Amino acid sequence: MREVTTQYDAVVIGSGPGGEGAAMQLAKKGRNVAIIEKHSSLGGGCTHWGTIPSKALRHSVSRLIEFNSNPLFVGDLRPRSLTFADILRHAQGVIQQQVQMRSGFYQRNDVTVLHGVASFEDRNTLKITQADGTIEYIGTKQVVIATGSRPYHPEDVDFNHERIYDSDTVLSLKHEPRSIIIYGAGVIGCEYASIFRGLGVKVDLINTRDRLLSFLDAEISDALSYHLRNNGVVIRHNEEYERIEGHEDGVTLYTQSGKRLDADCLLYANGRSGNIEELNVENVGLKPNHRGQLEVTGAYQTEVDNIFAVGDIIGYPSLASAAYDQGRICATEMLEGDCQKRLVSDIPTGIYTIPEISSVGKTEEELTEQKVPYEVGRAQFKHLARAQISNMAVGSLKLLFHRDTKEVLGIHCFGERAAEIIHIGQAIMEQKNGGNTIEYFVNTTFNYPTMAEAYRVAALNGLNRVRD
């Protein structure tokens, strides 16, 4: 029997959004909680390699594009360029602020922070291997697995090559590429295509499917394709690599269709895998699927009744925002044994391309397939005073609503600030007892000029299509 040094009520493995949500909820209810983080800094992949750095990069590039396209700034006032290294420095500053803030959360709530790699000895005992090789065993009544995910690495791609990156290692890009191949046109691939093209880098975006982000409303997906192409991104649909070769000064990708693509570097962004290997979950009888993910109940309980899992390690929806809520719901189940709360039915999607995309609810394709009698209301940003003032005229807001009941069924937004704009509509969609109708947007007075005014414009546009 291993000697257990400390006993806890609950141990959370991983300090990303899911782990933080669970740990905070448990600690605030008086539980003795420890959180285990394998890296030297708290925050998980979301803070260090995913959401925070990529969105900080995107923000800097977007502001550069905005500045360069503004007719007020011409001649000597216009900056020549920003390098990838320049904008990375801004991202690092944001990361440090996030780490400092999150460290304060654990200190104020008396959560013990342990750094090291966690693995199961049994359902109530965890082994922690620290960076210097020191091993410690701790005991716990309950466990939350929130270890997140990492970029998928196919075996035939040499990720040790200095010109071949994934979405984690691209954040340590040292040289200034003139061209890049991005393999995988999912959310991450499209976001980085926008970032690099905004910096003037030639981009080949390789999509293994027949259209970009096929889960989106087709009109929004088409708008993204148009604007990426209009900005100079070369999109290649229905392509898969045959082999990828790294050279001293670049990378060559050969497609299965016989094409050869050359670039200064390659970003592989096609899929992610759950961080499950080091946990030794077989010691407690858990079996992950082929993507390294665990099956859970609606309250995030695994097949082992005292072990729970949240975030990317359980798969869909793989969003930082949802993971935090999952952690709180999971903690409530651990505390009370019966948590009736669930994630909201309509989880908003935020995609930080340039321009950005956000949506919530049904798409036109889904409503058509379900034979729902719906109508569409649209507002073009170019017609809004606020968009004209800020020189952000690209984009639109699209409302889908039931022809008879006027219930809002879906909201889709493309353009700058889309991820903020969507929440107004989301709040109305969540109203019960007849509170969710498109008429709310007509009967409500919005500040003027604002981007939110798009809701009134779109609602009037849609209602004008409906004949009584």
Q: For residues 62-101, b (16+ Cβ closer than 10 Å) or e, as one string?
A: bebbeeeeeeeeeeeeeeeebebeebbeebeebbeebbee
Strands 251-255 and 374-380: unpaired
Say if residue 295 is in the same domain as residue 237: no
Could you list the mean pLDDT of each consecutive 10-residue stretch along the chain, which spans 468 residues? 86 96 96 95 88 89 81 62 78 89 93 96 96 94 97 96 95 90 97 94 97 96 97 97 96 98 98 95 95 93 96 92 94 87 84 96 97 98 94 94 96 96 95 90 93 96 88
- Give the Cα separation of 284 and 309 in Å (integer): 14
Domain boundary among 220, 251, 270: 270
Residue 30 lies in a domain: yes
CA–CA distance from 308 to each of 289, 298, 382 (Å)?
16, 11, 48
For 136, list phi and psi in degrees, rounded to 5.
Answer: -135, 145
Q: What is the pLDDT of residues 55-75, one digit of tens each?
A: 988 988 888 888 777 777 666
Which DSSP symbol is given to 263?
E
Say if residue 110 is in the same domain as residue 247: no
CATH of the domain at 65: 3.50.50.60
Domain boundary among 270, 305, 324: 270
- Give the Cα separation of 166 and 408 in Å (integer): 39
CATH of the domain at 448: 3.30.390.30
- Give the Cα separation of 72 and 361 in Å (integer): 39
Residue 125 lies in a domain: yes
Question: In a 3-state reduction of DSSP, which class is residue 234?
Answer: strand
Say if residue 95 is in the same domain as residue 194: no
Enumerate the known binding-site residues: 37-46, 55, 147-149, 184-191, 271, 312
Say if residue 286 is in the same domain as residue 298: yes
Say if residue 310 is in the same domain as residue 378: no
- Give the Cα separation of 59 and 37 in Å (integer): 28
Left, alpha or beta for 238 (phi > 0: left; psi -120 to 50: alpha)? left
The count of domains in the chain is 3
Domain of 316 in residue numbering reads as: 6-151+273-336
Q: What is the pLDDT of residue 209?
A: 96
Residue 344 lies in a domain: no
Say if residue 258 is in the same domain as residue 281: no
Say if residue 265 is in the same domain as residue 286: no
Q: End-to-end CA distance of the chain: give it in Å, rounded.
A: 76
Residue 342 lies in a domain: no
Say if residue 285 is in the same domain as residue 362: no
Say if residue 15 is in the same domain as residue 142: yes
Q: What is the pLDDT of residue 355?
A: 93
Q: What is the pLDDT of residue 165?
A: 97
Residue 158 lies in a domain: no
Enumerate the known binding-site residues for FAD: 37-46, 55, 147-149, 312
CA 179 to chain centroid = 25
Q: What is the pLDDT of residue 162?
A: 95
Rg of the chain on CA atoms, in Å? 24
Residue 349 lies in a domain: no
- Give the Cα separation of 295 and 232 in Å (integer): 42
Say if residue 215 is in the same domain as residue 321: no
Say if residue 142 is in the same domain as residue 206: no
Residue 341 lies in a domain: no
Say if residue 141 is in the same domain as residue 284: yes
Q: What is the pLDDT of residue 84?
A: 79
Enumerate the known binding-site residues for NAD(+): 184-191, 271
Residue 1 lies in a domain: no
- Give the Cα separation of 452 and 437 in Å (integer): 17
